Structure 1
Amino acid sequence: MSFVDNALIILLLIGISCFFSMSEIALAAARKIRLRQMVDEGDLRAERVLKLQAQPGSFFTVVQIGLNAVAIMGGIVGESAFTPYVKAALTGWVTEPWLGQLSFILSFAIVTSLFILIADLMPKRIAMAIPERVAVALVGPMMLCIVILRPLVWFFNGLATFVFRILQIQTVRNDQVTSDDIYAVMAAGTEAGVLDKGEQQMMENVFEMQTVPVTSAMTARESLVYFLLQDSEEDIKRKITNDPHTKFLVCDGQLDCIKGVVDAKELLIQVINGQSITLKGSPLVRNCLIIPDSLSLSETMEYFKNTRSDFAVVMNEYALVVGIVTTNDLQSAVMGAWSLHESEEQIIARDKDSWLVDGVTPITDVMRAFNIEQFPQSQNYETIAGFMMHMLRKIPKRTEFVNYAGYKFEVVDIDAYKVDQLMVTRIDTQDEPLLPID
């Protein structure tokens, strides 16, 4: 054959190798989420790509048969195509016996370079840049190759499967998306500038709602303001003035004897109309939703949606009130600092290495604020004050502290045995005593 014929054969082989290389990378790199979107948009080729990804054994067998066959043919044809011309060009410069060997080496280098550059590197980089577009464009010809080479595919694929079974190697692709995968995608989006830090934090809060207990978002028992059936009109007005809220619990004699909830706006209307305010037998006192303290934030939201409520009393297993929760509290849990007034912030930075933290701050908020992955035996407490009591094994006193995760947690204010405020200071982790984590 002439040089032109050999060159055309080389170009054809390079084109075939380019096809297989692009197909291999595109199928592996194509994102399932994007392919499913393309299916929803009516692109049936994307559905065929998804089927190949689900059972990729035949596909990769065809790719390897094609690539290896082309490489062998390219070596045979390339050596015979270029060696005589290289030898003629070197005659007069190189003498035998080095002329023949050098001609062969240069011919081999030329063919190999062409295959590496045009048949391997360039198509793979294109396929990595736009994997879904390449995959749907080449899936038809690839399916045809699988049909044509079915006997060879059956033989080599069956042999590989047999070997994998003997070695007990899992070959089924696991495409289950975990919460860690989603967090990683959001973090990558933040680094790329698609999301800002606040949006990333808000979405992470949404995913954590299934595991965060409702007690972390509620208003705790000791902070509740409520009405008693026995309260006079002056008592009611004073409580509303001192602690203006939208709704108030109504109890009979004590907090744990709940009679219902009253809307402060309806009481205001009575005052404007010159009517006296009384709670005994009043139609303004309505039943309220009562939920167990074992619910998560997402379960609580589901309760609110099903009952069309925005206010609930949280009770423990002894039928004691542990707090109240509203839809605004759930919103604050998701939105974080965006929805909190400055006076309501529970973690306030004093400088770059120290913070003032409210004792009732949920432990999940502390973990997030200080980038702490885990607290020891965190199932035994819900707030940072509970963490201090658990670690010290007693009711903390002022100036007592615990070193953990590179921070010093020091009690700075006590209110009637209650840890009211802590100072959190960054410390050298080398000086920190090790604490066991279960």
Structure 2
Amino acid sequence: MTLSESLLIIVALIATSAFFSLAEICLAAARRLRLRQMADEGDARAEKVLLLQEKPGHYFTVVQIGLNAVAILGGVVGDGALSPYFAAALQHWVSPENAQHIAFVLSFLTIIAVFLVFADLFPKRWGMNAPEQLAVRLVGPMQFLITALKPVVWLFTQSTDLLFKMLGMPTQREEQITSADILAMTEAGARAGVLAEREHRVIANVFELDTRMVSSVMTPRDRVIWFHKDEPEQVLRARIVAEPFSAYPVCEDDIDHVLGYVDAKDMFQRVLGGQPLSFDQGLPLRKALVIPDRISLTEVLEQFRQAHEDFAIVVNEYSLVVGVITLNDVMSTVMGDLVPPMDEEQQIVRRDDNSWLIDGVTPIQDVCRALSIDAMPQMDEYETLAGFLMFMLRRVPRRTDTVKWAGFTFEVMDVDSHRIDQVLASRPALSASGVPLSATAAQAGAGSSGSETPSA
């Protein structure tokens, strides 16, 4: 066999091995969601790839038969094709016997290197870049080979399935997508610029609804504006002007005895129609939806949907009112600054690059997001910034109390009847190199003092 014939055979074996390597990596890396989308768009080949992914035994058996056969033939042909030429070239420097041994090693390494690059690394990297597009192109030839080699494929597949059963391992791949998988994909899309950062934040907020409790976003009890059922019209009008909201609880004696709620739209219509704002003169009192304070925001949305309501009273295990929540509160959690709050007061106000003024009832998740803190200690023990301070201090905080965490100093600025109103979160200013300026100044001072020489 001449050198040109041997090289032609080697090229054909490399192409065959590359085909099987590409077929292997494409089927493994192809995403089912993308294949399903292609199948729904009318690509019948994508449906075939999906079926092969569900039962890939015969497919991978053919791949391994092809790869191993090519590897064996490549070694035989490559040794016979290149060894004589290497030996002839080496005989000028070493003995013929040593030349044969060295030629065998060089021929072996050359064939391995060529096959590794052109038959393995290159096709697999190509397949990882576009697995779905290549998988649908190769599914036809692979199905032909599966049919042509059916007896051999059946024998090896049955042997492999028997081994899986003996080891108690599943023979089919289970395709399960978790919320962590979706968040990872959206984060990768945001980093690649395919998904806007705000869209990524909205998706992440949706999955937070399962872990955030209703008490983290509700209006707390001491901030709820409620009406007494016997209050005169002048008082109602003054209260609405001073505290405009979308709905107001209506109580009998105190806030723990809720009779229902009045919608601001009903009151507005009566004012425009010249009708009196009085509950004993026709002002409609709606039945209030009552929900417990230990349910998640996802469950709140479901109860809103079932009751066809957008306002609810939140009670604790002792049937005491702890706050109220609206659909807008929940949507503000999902959409962030895309949905403005009903009132103008902001819970987190950035004063400068290194300090924030934060309301004590701000949800701790929002604090972590605003300050870019990964996590607080034992976050399941509290829900607000005030709860974090109480947890860390192990007592009710007083004015000027401070807590340090993750490079931030949280200082209590204002306390009203044991309730934390304002907290100042600050961090040391950073130099251009990212080092705190205080540390830089300290280092400079230490350096200057060390350079001084004592006077005589």
- Shorter-chain TM-score: which interval? 0.7 to 0.9
Alpha-carbon contact 1:230-1:253 (below 8 Å) kept: no
Q: Matched residues in 2 for 1:258 and 1:200: separation?
A: 40
Determine the structure 1 residue equivalent to 2:222.
222
Partner residue, 2:404: 403
Partner Cα distance (1:92, 1:381) in 2: 83
- Structure 1: how far apart are the matches of 2:117 and 2:382? 61
Deviation at 1:73, TM superposition (A): 0.6
Are 2:340 and 1:314 aligned?
A: no
1:231 aligned partner: 231
Distance in 2 (CA, whole Å) between partners of 1:109 and 1:269 is: 89
Cα shift at 1:22: 0.5
- Write the distance in 2 (CA, Å) between the matches of 1:323 and 1:13: 74
Q: Give secondary structure in 2 for the equivalent of 1:46.
A: helix
What secondary structure, in the 3-state scheme, does the structure 2 residue paired with 1:344 have? coil
Three-state SS of the structure 1 residue aligned to 2:96 is: coil
Structure 1 residues 252 and 352: CA distance shift in structure 2, 3 A: same
The aligned runs of 1:125-140 (5 Å cut-off) are: 125-140=125-140
Counterparts of 1:158-197 in structure 2, within 5 Å, are 173-197=173-197
Partner of 2:438: none
Change (3 A) 1:378 1:97: closer
Q: Where does 1:15-414 land on structure 2 (aligned, <5 Å)? A: 15-84=15-84, 96-97=96-97, 99-101=99-101, 103-157=103-157, 173-280=173-280, 282-340=282-340, 343-414=344-415
| Separation in structure 2 between the aligned mates of residue 151 and residue 267 of structure 1, nearest angstrom | 81
CA distance in 1, matches of 2:275, 2:164: 84
Q: Assess if the C-alpha contact under 8 Å between 1:358 and 1:420 holds in 2.
A: yes
2:10–2:78: 8 Å Cα contact kept in structure 1?
yes
Kept in 2: contact 1:16–1:70 (CA 8 A) = yes
Q: CA deviation at 1:153?
A: 4.1
Q: Tell me if the contact between 1:57 and 1:157 (Cα under 8 Å) persists in the aligned partners.
A: yes
Q: How far apart are 1:357 and its partner, in Å?
A: 1.4
2:441 matched to which residue of 1? Answer: none
Give, in angstroms, the shift of residue 297 of structure 1.
1.3
Secondary structure of the 2:212 match is: coil
Pick closer, same or farther for the CA change 1:87–1:195 going to 2, 3 Å: same
**Amino acid of the residue matched to residue 347 of structure 2?**
Q
Task: Answer yes or no: is the 8 Å Cα contact 2:304–2:310 preserved in 1.
Answer: yes
Q: Secondary structure at the match of 1:266?
A: helix
Any conservation in 1 of the 2:360–2:422 contact (CA below 8 Å)? yes
Q: CA-to-partner distance for each residue in 1:145-196, whole Å, 9 max, x for gaps?
A: 3344445445555555566666666775453222222221111111111123
1:280 is paired with a residue whose SS is helix
Q: Cα 1:374–1:4, aligned 2, differ >3 Å: closer, same or farther? A: closer
Partner letter of residue 398 of structure 1? R
| Distance verdict in 2 for CA 1:151–1:265, change over 3 Å | closer
Counterparts of 2:240 and 2:130, CA distance in 1 = 62
**Counterpart of 1:420 in 2: which secondary structure?**
strand
Distance of 2:59 and 2:353 partners within structure 1: 56
Q: CA deviation at 1:239?
A: 0.4
* Closer/same/farther in 2, CA of residues 179 and 371 from structure 1, 3 Å limit: farther
Q: Note closer, same or farther for the CA distance 1:2–1:378 as it changes in structure 2 (3 Å cut).
A: closer
Counterpart Cα distance in 1 of 2:419 and 2:99: 93
RMSD of the TM alignment (CA)?
Answer: 3.0
Structure 2: which 5+ residue stretches go unaligned? 429-434, 436-456
Residue deviations 1:307-354 (CA, integer Å, cap 9, x gap): 322222222222222222112111111112333369432122233333
TM-score (norm 2): 0.83
Amino acid at match of 2:143: M
Which residue of the partner structure matches residue 432 of structure 1? none
- Could you tell me which residue of structure 1 aligns to residue 431 of structure 2? none
Instruction: Tell me the SS of whatever aligns to 2:280.
Output: coil
Partners of 1:205 and 1:333 within 8 A in 2: yes
Measure how far apart 1:66 and its partner are: 1.6
Where does structure 1 lack aligned partners over 5 or more consecutive residues? Answer: 429-438
Match of 1:433 in 2: none
TM-score normalised to structure 1 length: 0.86
Q: Is the CA contact (8 Å cut-off) linking 1:27 and 1:53 kept in structure 2?
A: yes
The answer on whether the counterparts of 1:29 and 1:128 sit within 8 Å (CA) in structure 2 is yes
SS in 1 for 2:241: helix
**For 1:123, what is the secondary structure of its paired residue?**
helix
Per-residue deviation, residues 70-123 of structure 1 (Å, max 9, x unmatched): 111112122323444566677878773455445545544554444233322332
Separation of aligned partners in 1, 2:88 and 2:380: 82
Q: CA deviation at 1:227?
A: 1.4
Deviates more, 1:360-369 or 1:234-243: 360-369
Residues 227 and 23 of structure 1: CA distance in aligned 2, closer, same or farther (over 3 Å): same
> Please, which moves more after superposition, 345-354 or 371-380?
371-380
| CA drift at 1:267 | 2.8
For residue 133 of structure 1, give the secondary structure of its aligned residue in structure 2.
helix
Residues 371-418 of structure 1 show CA distances to partners (whole Å, capped at 9, x for unaligned) of 445444444432211222233333221122333344333211101111
Range 158-167 or range 367-376, more displaced: 158-167
3-state SS, counterpart of residue 423 of structure 1? strand
Hey, what's the Cα distance between the residues in 1 that align with 2:281 and 2:271?
18
